[in-house]
Amino acid sequence: MKPFLSVSLLLCIPILAYGAAGLLNHCILLGYKKSPSELEFPSRLLDSHTRRTYLFTGCLLSYCIAWWLAASWITFAVYLFYMSILTAVVVMDFEQQLILNRFILSLTILALLATPVLPAAFLPRILAGGAGFLIFLCLAMITRGGIGGGDIKLIGALGLFLGPDRLLFTIIIGVVAGGLVSLCLLLTRKKKRTDMIAYGPYFAIAAAFSLFL
């Protein structure tokens, strides 16, 4: 990417992050309204201003990563969309332990459309997505709901975007980070052993940093 284009992108990132935060907040609220029975903590919904603040902060950091990694306008746009979805996943899963299907579907469609600019070949990405989905589905059955359906679908969509190597990195880092946080919450008695722990945010954050590999 040419230097003046890079500077232009960098100056536009706060504006893009602000606009994306508003759009993501709208999409999340719309999803909550359409699926109120799926909300884990309906009495603890964040107000729109607070949620938008979290989304803006996440988008701002994510877009800086996208700007740093992008080799062209096209890859920047792909990473921008990718990071936006991951930011929304982090916020909504922390808030309600819920990952809306519309965001999983958007990530899946992006992975298919962005095939020409993604590093991993198409077939390995298909295999990674399918294998990740099936493995986590089996783990969910073995643990009797210890892994949520949103996490299973998220891993499948991430595999389709990242490919096998980066998906493996994402899973390892996500599981370790989520496990350490869960242990801290159990030790401080903020969570019980029977409580479900949201792993989606850790997978999403690990998936963002896997792009550096």
Give the single-character DSSP code of 162: H
What pLDDT does residue 1 have?
A: 58
pLDDT > 90 in the chain, percent? 75
Radius of gyration over alpha carbons of the chain, in Å?
A: 17
> What mean pLDDT is predicted for residues 182-190?
84
Average pLDDT over residues 104-132: 97
Q: What is the pLDDT of residue 182?
A: 85
pLDDT at 21: 98
Instruction: Identify whether the C-beta of residue 151 lies closer than 8 Å to the C-beta of residue 99.
Output: yes
Can you tell me the distance from the alpha carbon of 184 to that of 10, in angstroms, rounded to the nearest whole number? 37
What is the spatial distance between Cα 177 and Cα 196, in angstroms, rounded to a whole number?
15
Quick: pLDDT tens for 124-183. Answer: 999 999 999 999 999 889 877 778 899 999 999 999 999 999 999 999 999 999 989 988
How far apart are alpha carbons 97 and 89 in whole angstroms?
9
Q: Using pLDDT thresholds of 50, 70 and 90, give the confidence band for residue 194.
A: low
> What residues contact residue 11 under an 8 Å CB cut-off, 6+ apart?
none
DSSP 8-state secondary structure symbol assigned to residue 194:
T
pLDDT at 2 (0 to 100): 61
* Cα separation, 193 vs 203, whole angstroms: 21
Q: What is the pLDDT of residues 67-94, one digit of tens each?
A: 999 888 999 999 999 999 999 999 999 9
CA atoms lying within 13 Å on the CB side of residue 203: 28
pTM for the structure as a whole: 0.94
Q: What is the mean pLDDT of residues 40-69?
A: 94
